[in-house]
Amino acid sequence: GQNIDQPTEMTATEGAIVQINCTYQTSGFNGLFWYQQHAGEAPTFLSYNVLDGLEEKGRFSSFLSRSKGYSYLLLKELQMKDSASYLCAVLDSNYQLIWGAGTKLIIKP
Protein backbone atom coordinates (compact mmCIF):
# COMPACT_ATOMS: atom_id res chain seq x y z
CA GLY A 1 0.00 0.00 0.00
CA GLN A 2 0.91 3.64 -0.09
CA ASN A 3 2.05 5.28 3.10
CA ILE A 4 3.37 8.64 4.19
CA ASP A 5 4.57 9.13 7.76
CA GLN A 6 5.16 12.37 9.60
CA PRO A 7 5.23 13.18 13.32
CA THR A 8 1.82 14.20 14.63
CA GLU A 9 2.98 17.21 16.61
CA MET A 10 6.16 19.15 17.33
CA THR A 11 6.94 22.07 19.62
CA ALA A 12 9.68 24.64 19.08
CA THR A 13 10.73 28.03 20.43
CA GLU A 14 10.45 31.35 18.63
CA GLY A 15 13.73 32.19 16.88
CA ALA A 16 14.91 28.56 16.84
CA ILE A 17 15.23 25.98 14.04
CA VAL A 18 12.96 22.97 13.56
CA GLN A 19 13.13 20.00 11.19
CA ILE A 20 9.96 18.15 10.21
CA ASN A 21 10.58 14.70 8.75
CA CYS A 22 8.54 12.77 6.22
CA THR A 23 9.06 9.19 5.07
CA TYR A 24 7.13 7.65 2.24
CA GLN A 25 6.37 4.39 0.49
CA THR A 26 4.39 4.94 -2.69
CA SER A 27 3.73 3.28 -6.03
CA GLY A 28 6.08 5.38 -8.09
CA PHE A 29 7.47 8.82 -7.42
CA ASN A 30 7.07 12.00 -9.41
CA GLY A 31 7.96 14.53 -6.76
CA LEU A 32 7.32 15.55 -3.18
CA PHE A 33 5.46 18.62 -2.00
CA TRP A 34 5.30 20.46 1.32
CA TYR A 35 2.26 22.54 2.13
CA GLN A 36 1.47 24.77 5.09
CA GLN A 37 -2.03 24.80 6.58
CA HIS A 38 -3.10 27.23 9.28
CA ALA A 39 -6.00 26.10 11.45
CA GLY A 40 -9.32 26.49 9.65
CA GLU A 41 -7.67 27.49 6.39
CA ALA A 42 -6.71 25.89 3.09
CA PRO A 43 -3.27 24.38 2.44
CA THR A 44 -0.78 26.67 0.68
CA PHE A 45 2.24 25.53 -1.32
CA LEU A 46 5.69 25.73 0.24
CA SER A 47 8.05 23.59 -1.84
CA TYR A 48 8.48 20.91 -4.48
CA ASN A 49 11.40 18.45 -4.73
CA VAL A 50 11.89 15.90 -7.47
CA LEU A 51 15.70 15.51 -7.41
CA ASP A 52 17.84 14.59 -4.42
CA GLY A 53 19.23 17.44 -2.42
CA LEU A 54 18.33 20.61 -0.62
CA GLU A 55 16.12 23.39 -1.98
CA GLU A 56 16.31 26.65 -0.08
CA LYS A 57 13.65 29.32 -0.14
CA GLY A 58 14.14 32.07 2.40
CA ARG A 59 13.65 30.76 5.95
CA PHE A 60 12.31 27.44 4.63
CA SER A 61 14.36 24.62 3.08
CA SER A 62 13.29 21.19 1.87
CA PHE A 63 15.49 18.13 1.44
CA LEU A 64 14.85 14.93 -0.50
CA SER A 65 16.53 11.52 -0.61
CA ARG A 66 14.73 9.31 -3.11
CA SER A 67 16.82 6.23 -2.29
CA LYS A 68 15.78 6.48 1.37
CA GLY A 69 12.18 7.55 0.73
CA TYR A 70 12.80 10.52 3.00
CA SER A 71 12.29 14.24 3.05
CA TYR A 72 12.48 16.98 5.62
CA LEU A 73 11.29 20.56 5.88
CA LEU A 74 13.63 22.88 7.76
CA LEU A 75 12.26 26.08 9.23
CA LYS A 76 14.76 28.68 10.50
CA GLU A 77 14.30 31.78 12.67
CA LEU A 78 10.90 30.57 13.75
CA GLN A 79 8.15 33.14 14.09
CA MET A 80 4.83 32.80 15.90
CA LYS A 81 3.03 32.91 12.55
CA ASP A 82 4.79 29.63 11.62
CA SER A 83 2.42 27.85 14.02
CA ALA A 84 0.50 25.65 11.59
CA SER A 85 0.24 22.13 10.24
CA TYR A 86 2.81 21.06 7.66
CA LEU A 87 1.64 18.53 5.10
CA CYS A 88 3.93 16.23 3.13
CA ALA A 89 2.51 14.88 -0.14
CA VAL A 90 3.98 12.58 -2.81
CA LEU A 91 3.00 12.56 -6.47
CA ASP A 92 2.67 8.86 -7.34
CA SER A 93 3.02 7.02 -10.66
CA ASN A 94 -0.53 8.05 -11.64
CA TYR A 95 0.29 11.68 -10.91
CA GLN A 96 -2.05 11.68 -7.94
CA LEU A 97 -1.01 13.35 -4.71
CA ILE A 98 -0.83 11.04 -1.69
CA TRP A 99 -0.99 13.10 1.50
CA GLY A 100 0.46 12.56 4.92
CA ALA A 101 -1.71 13.39 7.95
CA GLY A 102 0.33 16.50 8.67
CA THR A 103 2.56 17.70 11.49
CA LYS A 104 1.12 20.28 13.84
CA LEU A 105 3.90 22.72 14.76
CA ILE A 106 3.45 24.71 17.96
CA ILE A 107 5.72 27.72 18.46
CA LYS A 108 6.28 28.96 22.00
CA PRO A 109 7.61 32.42 22.87
Going by DSSP bridges, is the β-strand pair 103-108/9-13 parallel, antiparallel, or unpaired? Answer: parallel
Residues 79-108 that bind other proteins (CB under 8 A): 87, 89, 91, 95-102
- C-alpha span between 17 and 30 (Å, rounded): 28
The percent helix, strand, coil of the chain (3-state, each to 5) is 5, 55, 40
**Is residue 44 involved in binding other proteins (CB under 8 A)?**
yes
Binds other proteins by CB under 8 A, chosen from 29, 48, 60, 70:
48
Based on CB atoms, which residue is closest to other proteins, 64 or 78? 64
In this structure, are residues 38 and 84 in contact, taking their beta carbons and an 8 Å threshold?
Answer: yes
Binding track, positions 8-37, relative to other proteins; x by CB under 8 A: x---------------------xx-x----
